[in-house]
Amino acid sequence: MKVSELVVKSIPRTKHSPKHPISCRHLPSHVGTQANVWTTTVTPYQRPKEEESDDEAEPSWNLNVLLSYHIPTPESSMLSSSTVIETSRKLVMGKVLALPLPHRPLFPGVYMPIYVKDPKVLAALVESRKRQAPYAGAFLIKDEQGTDPNVVSASDTEKNIYELKGKDLFSRLHEVGTLAQITSIQGDQVILIGHRRIRMTEVVSEEPLTVKVDHLKEKPYNKDDDVIKATSFEVLSTLRDVLKTSSLWKDHVQTYIQHIGDFNYARLADFGAAISGANQLQCQQVLEELDVHKRLQLTLEIVKKEMEISKIQESIAKAIEEKISGEQRRYLLNEQLKAIKKELGLETDDKTALSAKFRERLEPNKEKIPAHVMQVIEEELTKLQLLEASSSEFNVTRNYLDWLTALPWGSYSDENFDVLRAETILDEDHYGLSDVKERILEFIAVGKLRGTSQGKIICLSGPPGVGKTSIGRSIARALNRKFYRFSVGGLSDVAEIKGHRRTYIGAMPGKMVQCLKSVGTANPLVLIDEIDKLGRGHAGDPASAMLELLDPEQNANFLDHYLDVPIDLSKVLFVCTANVLEMIPNPLLDRMEVIAIAGYITDEKLHIARDYLEKSTRETCGIKPEQVEVTDAALLALIENYCREAGVRNLQKQIEKIYRKIALKLVRKDGKIEPQNAGVNEVKAESVHLSDEIKSKEETQAGAKSVEGTNDDKPSENVAESLEAPVNQMEKPTDEDTHLQEVEEVTESEASKTIEKVVVDSPNLADYVGKPIFHAERIYDQTPVGVVMGLAWTSMGGSTLYIETSLVEQGEGKGALNVTGQLGDVMKESAQIAHTVSRIILQEKEPDNHFFANSKLHLHVPAGSTPKDGPSAGCTMITSLLSLAMKKPVKPYLAMTGEVTLTGKILPIGGVKEKTIAARRSDVKTIIFPSANRRDFDELAPNVKEGLDVHFVDEYKQIYDLAF
């Protein structure tokens, strides 16, 4: 029988028990890192005499009894608790192979697996086992100088050990080590079991390192000393407490008792230090201590610390277990609640569903969302989870997240930079306005060359009804951008633009954030309507709040008070509309590019009415083109006598009025007017039961009748043949044939009716739109003395007005001027200046004429109910005064505009296009403008300038020569 197969039943050893001459063992499965049970042969030897003498007098305990703690032993893999490893009586070794230990020292009676990487050392160990001297010296390696033992990693330490050889290795080893029996060698893994302390003295051979050693014995001590007993009992008590919490220690105790035997004072100290978690220097200190009492004290300190660590470990484990179990319970309850709500059909509005909804919104554009915005969103989502659903703060956070996640961060619509397409769209929607269209096409061309379009701020200014808002909509269509319009007329609250603070009840973001949420893209076209009518209330100045929004340098980081995160508006194209630029604050106007739309002349209005307004109105009223004819003369009369404003909104109203009356006339005359597709639908309805072929023929006939009925009284022969063909194919006349004949007769009778066309011409225009509102602005064919036509600009466009001067009374020194006509301060001052300048000019031209000195004059501007103010009537007033003073009428068909200084210089004026259009409307042939306005006139379209004799003057003397 092999030695490894022997199983000797151990008997608990006492002081009087006989020594067992030989014993064998199985190495337990938990030694080292191996999980499998494996068997190792141990060479038997006898205990030396010096070892016997130590154990005779010293008391020993079975740790199981002393700790009152039962440790289960596997039946097949463990031997009894008092098996003693026998050693050779010749264990008087002077030299041993030195094995470096990287992490912890080896204590007597303790197993330790190590890995030997040096092939020479491994070969020497194998050789020593063959010679039946399987022993080596295990020495802890010292830490390198200047390194922290707690910082250096284990792999670095082992790497350094493998590199050390000979005397270098000798110098790095602690002097005191343990004589270890080599119990097993498998590959490069060597299992050691410690026996006794040794001290190395010198190097015998360097490779592999072999050293001379001295065997160390404990110092003599009194085994009955109460202090030693008390210390050992405290160590045992502490070990008992630790064993209750640590299953790993139980395994160590079991192994020790099995292979070493019962404990005495020295072994107890070694065992406690060996299985503790103390660091290597503390363990080495215990190993080097030969005073048993001191060794017990050191071990007691170590195991007490181990006990504290175990308590902390236990409390941590308990806290984590409670937390996990609480979370699991909460999770299970939540899942059950969701399932119950799902079964009952209740809507889930809990925080989890809200967070999931918000995250789902963010998912498509998650990469495009700026980092600072994403950080705010994550913080708010975390905050939402911590708040109670019933709290007011919860609703504020939910609404805030709703806005933050609904915005199109980094989402842009694909722009179309096709200039030809854009030009076609602009021409389709608007007639004329060449300067406006040219500017839009320039913007698109720049965008095409750059590959992207930076947002601009365009301001369309002009009278009402000229198409400013619709131009903005056309630009959006041409660029393929989303369109959003909001009017700021009368807006008096800054929060409408910049948003409210979130702390207020009912707080909302500003108009711009609402716009982005509504359109769903970050590059829409935003039309800000009526920007000149911004109000100013107690809640701040909205015009000042618009500065950040409309500044190309600032709106890349526009800050809304509600969102409180920067928003990039640099890609937004802003289009503003205004009637009067003077009403816009200068800092705001400075940020815009102004495009003036003066209005339309008669020819342009005629085209717009014919090509746009009439067509859309006819479709709106449900009237066919062949039923109505509005002549050019009627439209011209409508424009001249009813719709003189610069825009076409009033013209559209009058055209709608005409078509509504025509619709009423048609319905009254025929009793019933069928919808445009009624004929086809009726025939289809009545012929449901006919064959497919007959139905298709009937539909063809119905379509032909509806078109040809306007010109012919009889149905087309082709249509009749198409109806007869399927009938002739039938063998016998049936009910279907009879019904088909009825349908044919009905269709013929309907087609035979001719639709009477309603013609609207200038003579009967008053029947539709009433009496003319305006009479010709030209009151006089030949203006009398003291009357001169001037040109004025208003917010509704340009207009002509007469300035009349009349003599009240004459007498020595009665020279005076009275002004009427609801004139503003500027025009009153212009009248005083005109009176002074006209006296100077009259003195030059006719020195003997003292008209102004002796005459009381009355200057009046008609249409007194209309307020009039502005610096452009000075030259007209002077001419009127001089005409009366010299009793000379001015030339016929003459109009003038311009402000005059006291020295007779002519100052430039505004509204050249509007005034030119007004002059054409009044059949003026000759116009006088200041020289500084020549450039404005040259930019006008050729059809506006056509047929006009325009003079540009610098001084009033030139006007005098032209007027008289």
Q: Can you give the pLDDT at residue 54?
A: 43
CATH of 787-963, one of 3.30.230.10, 2.40.10.340, 3.30.2420.10, 1.20.1260.10: 3.30.230.10
Range from 167-171, 197-201, 486-490, 928-932 carrying the lowest mean pLDDT? 167-171
Left, alpha or beta for 929 (phi > 0: left; psi -120 to 50: alpha)? beta
Non-local (6+) Cβ contacts of 694 within 8 A are: 687, 726, 736, 740
Helix, strand, or coil here: 27?
coil
Arithmetic mean of pLDDT, 410-435: 86
Which among 424, 481, 429, 437 is positioned nearest to 455, based on CA atoms?
481
Q: Are 666 and 758 in contact (CB under 8 A)?
A: yes
pLDDT band at 259 (very low <50, low <70, confident <90, very high): low
Under DSSP, is residue 802 helix (H, G, I), strand (E, B) or coil? Answer: strand
Residue type for 516, please? L
Helix (H, G, I), strand (E, B) or coil at 807: strand
Half-sphere exposure of 744 (CA within 13 A, CB side): 19
Nearest to 875 by CA among 820, 833, 911: 833
E strand or H helix at 737: helix 735-752
Q: Which two tokens stand for residue 23?
A: 């014993």
Can you give the pLDDT at residue 836?
92
Do the annotations mark residue 462 as ligand-binding?
yes
By mean pLDDT, which of 71-75, 315-319, 794-798, 925-929 is the weakest? Answer: 71-75
Q: What is the pLDDT of residues 355-382, one digit of tens each?
A: 888 888 888 878 888 888 889 988 988 8
Q: Is the pLDDT of residue 433 over 60?
A: yes
Both structure tokens of 779? 């009151």
CA distances to 699, 700, 749, 809 from 695, in Å: 6, 9, 19, 92
- Cβ atoms of residues 297 and 231 within 8 Å: yes
Q: What DSSP designation does 505 have?
A: T
**Residue 162's pLDDT band (boundaries 50, 70, 90)?**
low
Distance CA 641, CA 96 (A): 130
Asked if 515 and 405 count as a contact pair (C-beta separation under 8 A), the reply is: no
- DSSP alpha helices (H): ranges in 364-461? 371-386, 392-406, 419-429, 434-450
What is the Cα–Cα distance from 319 to 313, expressed in whole angstroms? 10
370 known ligand binder: no
Angle (CA) 776-778-780 rounded to 5° is 125
Lowest mean pLDDT among 203-207, 343-347, 880-884: 343-347
**289 in Cβ contact with 228 (< 8 Å):** no
Would you say residue 56 has pLDDT above 70?
A: no
Residue recorded with tokens 């299992």 = 191
Q: Which amino acid is at 559?
A: L
468 assigned binding-site residue: yes
pLDDT at 653 over 50: yes
Local confidence band at 674 (pLDDT 50, 70, 90 cut-offs): low
Confidence of residue 345 (pLDDT cuts 50, 70, 90): low
Split at pLDDT 50, 70, 90, the class of 437 is confident
Please report, for the chain, the start and end positions of each structural domain, with discontinuous segments joined by +: 3-217, 351-406, 419-596, 602-671+684-705+712-769, 787-963
Distance (Å, rounded) from C-alpha 180 to C-alpha 197?
9
Question: Six-digit token pair at 161?
Answer: 């050990």
Selection from 303-307, 692-696, 879-883 with the highest mean pLDDT: 879-883
Predicted confidence (pLDDT) per residue in 224-236, tens digit: 788 888 888 888 8
Segment 910-928 mean pLDDT: 85
Q: How many CA atoms lie within 13 A of 885 on its CB side?
A: 30
pLDDT > 70 in the chain, percent = 76
Given a cut of 50, is residue 739 above it in pLDDT? yes
Is the pLDDT reported for residue 869 higher than 90? no
What is the pLDDT at residue 752? 41
Residue 950 annotated in ligand binding: no
**Segment 463-476 mean pLDDT:** 88
Q: What is the DSSP annotation of 511-565?
A: HHHHHHHHH-SSS-EEEEE-GGG---BTTB-HHHHHHHHT-TTTGGGEE-TTT-S
Give buried/exposed letters for 914-941 (b at 16+ CB in 10 A, else e): bbbbbbbbbebebbbbbeebeebbeebe
Region 332-342: mean pLDDT is: 81
Residue 723 three-state SS: helix
Q: With a cut of 80, say whether residue 531 has pLDDT above it.
A: yes
Question: Looking at the annotation, which residues are catalytic?
Answer: 872, 915
For residues 812-828, give the mean pLDDT: 88
Q: Is 154 within 8 Å of 114 (Cβ atoms)?
A: no
Would you place residue 89 in the very low, low, confident or very high pLDDT band (cuts 50, 70, 90)? very low
What is the rounded CA–CA span in Å between residue 750 and residue 679? Answer: 9
- 573 beta partners: 525
> Which contacts qualify for 697-702: CB closer than 8 Å, 24 or more apart?
697/722, 697/723, 697/725, 697/726, 698/723, 698/743, 701/744, 701/747, 702/747
Secondary structure class of 904 (helix, strand, coil): coil
Distance CA 79, CA 20 (A): 14
Give which of 414, 408, 412 is closest to 362, Cα–Cα.
408
What is the band of 675 on the pLDDT scale with cuts at 50, 70, 90?
low
103 token code pair:
């992490």
The three-class DSSP label of residue 590 is coil
- Residue 728: is its pLDDT beyond 80? no
38 or 658: which carries more pLDDT confidence? 658
Residue 60's pLDDT is: 52
- Model pLDDT, residue 36: 30
Using the predicted structure, report yes or no on whether residue 879 has a pLDDT greater than 90: yes
455 belongs to an annotated ligand binding site: no
Instruction: Tell which wins on pLDDT, 437 or 12.
Output: 437
Q: Which residue in this structure is represented by tokens 């001290």? A: 199
pLDDT reported for residue 483 = 93
Give the CA radius of gyration of the chain. Answer: 56
On whether 625 is known to bind a ligand per the annotation, the reply is: no
In this predicted structure, the answer to whether residue 83 has a pLDDT above a threshold of 70 is no
Contact 303, 270 (CB under 8 A): no
Is the predicted pLDDT of residue 813 greater than 70, yes or no? Answer: yes
CA distance 896 to 892: 12
pLDDT by residue (tens digit) across 69-80? Answer: 333 322 322 333
Please say whether the beta carbons of 189 and 111 come within 8 A.
Answer: no
Instruction: Say what the pLDDT of residue 159 is.
Output: 54
Q: Alpha-carbon distance 701 to 679, whole Å?
A: 10
What's the token pair of residue 934? 């020549």
**Contact yes or no for 800/924 (Cβ under 8 A):** yes
pLDDT in tens, 783-811: 889 999 998 877 667 788 889 999 998 88
Decide which of 825 and 913 is more confident. 825
pLDDT at 92 over 50: no
Tell me which amino acid residue 258 is: Q
Contact call for residues 550 and 501 (beta carbons, < 8 A): no
Give the C-alpha distances (Å, rounded to integers) separating 173 from 123, 177, 804.
Answer: 21, 9, 125
What was the pLDDT predicted at 269? 78
Residue 186 has a CB neighbour count (10 Å cut-off) of 12
Query: How does DSSP assign 331-390, residue by residue?
Result: HHHHHHHHHHHHHHTPPP-SHHHHHHHHHHHHGGGTTTS-HHHHHHHHHHHHHHHHS-TT
What's the average model confidence in pLDDT over 313-330? 84
Does 463 count as an annotated binding residue?
yes
CATH topology of domain 3-217: 2.30.130
The mean predicted confidence, pLDDT, of the chain is 76
Q: What angle do CA 687, 693, 694 make, to 5 degrees?
A: 35
Q: Which residue, among 120, 270, 137, has the nearest Cα to 188 in the 3D structure?
A: 120
- Contact assessment for residue 24 and residue 6, using Cβ atoms and an 8 Å cutoff: yes
Superfamily of 419-596 according to CATH: P-loop containing nucleotide triphosphate hydrolases (3.40.50.300)
DSSP β-ladder status, 787-794 and 894-896 = parallel
Q: Is 881's pLDDT higher than 90?
A: yes
What was the pLDDT predicted at 915?
87
Task: From residue 433, give the alpha-carbon distance in Å to each of 471, 795, 941.
Answer: 10, 18, 9
What is the average pLDDT across 404-427? 88
Please state which of the ranges 86-100, 732-746, 908-922 shows the lowest mean pLDDT.
Answer: 732-746
> Which range, 238-252, 260-274, 377-391, 627-641, has the best average confidence (pLDDT)?
627-641
Residues facing residue 203 across a β-bridge: 211
Q: Tokens for 381, please give them.
A: 């989502």
Decide the pairing of beta strands 483-487 and 189-205: unpaired
pLDDT at 928: 93
CATH of domain 602-671+684-705+712-769: 1.10.8.60
Instruction: Name the residue with higher pLDDT: 950 or 490.
Output: 950
- pLDDT value at residue 193: 84
CB neighbours of 81 closer than 8 A, spacing ≥ 6? 10, 12, 62, 64, 73, 257, 258, 261, 262
Q: What is the pLDDT of residue 302?
A: 83
892 CB-contact burial (10 Å; exposed 0-12 / middle 13-18 / buried 19+)? middle
Q: How many CB atoms lie within 10 A of CB 431?
A: 18
| pLDDT value, residue 44 | 36
Specify the DSSP element, H or E, that contains 656.
helix 649-670
624 annotated to a ligand binding site: no
pLDDT at 897: 92
Q: Which residue has the higher pLDDT, 457 or 249?
A: 457
* pLDDT, position 787: 92
Reported as a single tens digit per residue, the pLDDT across 119-151 is 888 888 888 877 777 888 889 888 765 555 555
Element (H, E) at 875: helix 874-886
Residue that the structure tokens 């503790």 belong to: 276
